Amino acid sequence: MNRKQLINLIAEGENFTTEFKQRFSSHEKIAKEIIAFANSKGGVILFGIDDDSSIYGVDSEKEVTELIKETIINYCEPKVQFEILFFELENKEIVVLIIPESKNKPHRIQDYLPKIDLNNAQVYIRVNDKSVLASKEMIKILITQTNDAKLKNYSIGKNEKLVFEYLDKNDFITAKQLSDLANLSSRRASRTLINLVRANILAIHTKDNGENYFSNI
């Protein structure tokens, strides 16, 4: 990233891959943003920039850098890759944290457990310009992406056919809707939709509140 690219990012405002922080708030709040970018398509966090794109600068580049490193070491599991850059704008110091998309998803807030707990893990993803908690369905998809566990020769049964028929008349379907439609348990409905995503037949989407829905690709 160069100075011109930074100025353009600030002018564009916060979005799917860009987050502004006037100051370093807390380790957990910053860890949430870092994890969300790593679990999504990557992104940048600009320290010293307010939500409205105003340039405030940071009091100490060194202090912010140390806080970022502490966050990544102590609050993110597994650890994420990162790069830190420094710029001066309007005689104010800006710290840029670059988080690439991870190849080791899903990342979560450190819980010191040997493996991920689907019921309690704090896994975040990026939705529009926000970082939101991922659902169990999304966590499972992230795991399969890391393991490259795509389904091959997937057998289409009656439940899958119900999904296709429903999507012929509607833009999307949820696990709850499939559960009601096919008289399935919520767990089985969720598994059916996840398998269709793994087979590259459906796409999974997340609302601002973290709820998932599924659509044709």
Which of 33-37, 106-110, 195-199 is predicted with the least confidence, judged by mean pLDDT?
A: 195-199
- Is 7 in a helix, a strand, or coil? helix
Residue 200 confidence (pLDDT): 85
Q: pLDDT tens for residues 55-69?
A: 999 999 999 999 999
Interval 161-189 mean pLDDT = 94
Task: Tell me which DSSP letter residue 154 carries.
Answer: P
Of 134, 159, 185, the position where a domain reaches its end is 134
| 201 and 164 housed in the same domain | yes
Residue 199 confidence (pLDDT): 86
- Is 170 in a helix, a strand, or coil? coil
Residue 146 confidence (pLDDT): 82
> Residue 117's closest CA among 143, 149, 85?
143
| 130 and 97 housed in the same domain | yes
Confidence of residue 210 (pLDDT cuts 50, 70, 90): confident
Residue 217 confidence (pLDDT): 86
Interval 108-134 mean pLDDT = 94
Contact call for residues 79 and 120 (beta carbons, < 8 A): no
Reading phi first (left if > 0) and then psi (alpha if -120 to 50, else beta), residue 145 is in alpha
CA 60 – CA 64 distance, rounded (Å): 6
Q: Where are the alpha helices (DSSP H) in the chain?
A: 3-12, 27-39, 61-75, 136-147, 158-169, 175-182, 186-198
| 130 and 186 housed in the same domain | no
| 20 and 46 housed in the same domain | yes
CA 139 – CA 134 distance, rounded (Å): 6
pLDDT of 51 above 80: yes
Distances (CA, A) of 135 to 7, 79, 149, 170: 35, 21, 19, 22
Residue 149 confidence (pLDDT): 61
Confidence of residue 151 (pLDDT cuts 50, 70, 90): low
| 40 and 128 housed in the same domain | yes
| 12 and 112 housed in the same domain | yes
Which of 34-48, 119-133, 147-161 is predicted with the least confidence, judged by mean pLDDT?
A: 147-161
**Structural domain harbouring 203:** 143-216
Could you give the number of structural domains in the chain? 2
| 27 and 125 housed in the same domain | yes
Contact call for residues 162 and 177 (beta carbons, < 8 A): no
Confidence of residue 73 (pLDDT cuts 50, 70, 90): very high
Residue 22 confidence (pLDDT): 95
Residue written as tokens 């028929």? 165
| 99 and 58 housed in the same domain | yes
What burial class does residue 217 get, using C-beta atoms within 10 Å of its C-beta: 0-12 exposed, 13-18 middle, 19+ buried? Answer: exposed
CA 159 – CA 210 distance, rounded (Å): 25
| 155 and 108 housed in the same domain | no
| 8 and 107 housed in the same domain | yes
> Residue 199's closest CA among 134, 141, 138?
141
Q: What is the CA radius of gyration of the chain?
A: 20
| 109 and 149 housed in the same domain | no
CATH code of the domain covering residue 167: 1.10.10.10
Residue 142 confidence (pLDDT): 92
pLDDT of 98 above 70: yes
